[in-house]
Amino acid sequence: MSAAPAHAPVPFAAGDVIEVDAEHYNYGTERLRLRVEEILRRFGNGWIEVHGVEIHWTGADGDQRFAAVDPAHVRVTKRARRVA
């Protein structure tokens, strides 16, 4: 399956925790779990560059991280509280 079209809405927001398998982000060697802090840009192929904090398997915060993710393969595991 290919990336979402460049005009598709972003399926997550700042504050959400996302998971992406290694083959669906640059440059992955294992599943990425990230609390998104910023959505930086969308590339022409539909992938999205994000900045956030990696979440370790223990649940502890890890390092700051930049990644380009294929939004068609992102799973949102926790939604940030939205203020109306």
| Per-residue pLDDT tens digits for 23-77 | 999 988 899 999 999 999 999 999 999 999 999 999 999 999 999 999 999 999 9
Task: Give the residue numbers spanning the domain of 61.
Answer: 17-78
Strands across the sheet containing 25-26: 25-26, 61-69, 48-55, 32-42, 17-20, 75-78
Element (H, E) at 79: none
pTM of structure: 0.87
Q: Is residue 65 part of a domain?
A: yes
Pairing type for strands 32-42 and 25-26 reads: unpaired
Q: Is residue 9 part of a domain?
A: no
Q: Is residue 40 part of a domain?
A: yes
Burial of 55: CB neighbours in 10 Å, binned 0-12, 13-18, 19+: buried
How many domains would you assign to the chain?
Answer: 1
Q: Is residue 62 part of a domain?
A: yes
Q: Is residue 7 part of a domain?
A: no
Q: Is residue 49 part of a domain?
A: yes
Query: How many angstroms separate the CA atoms of 45 and 31, rounded?
Result: 21
Evaluate if residue 1 carries a pLDDT over 90: no
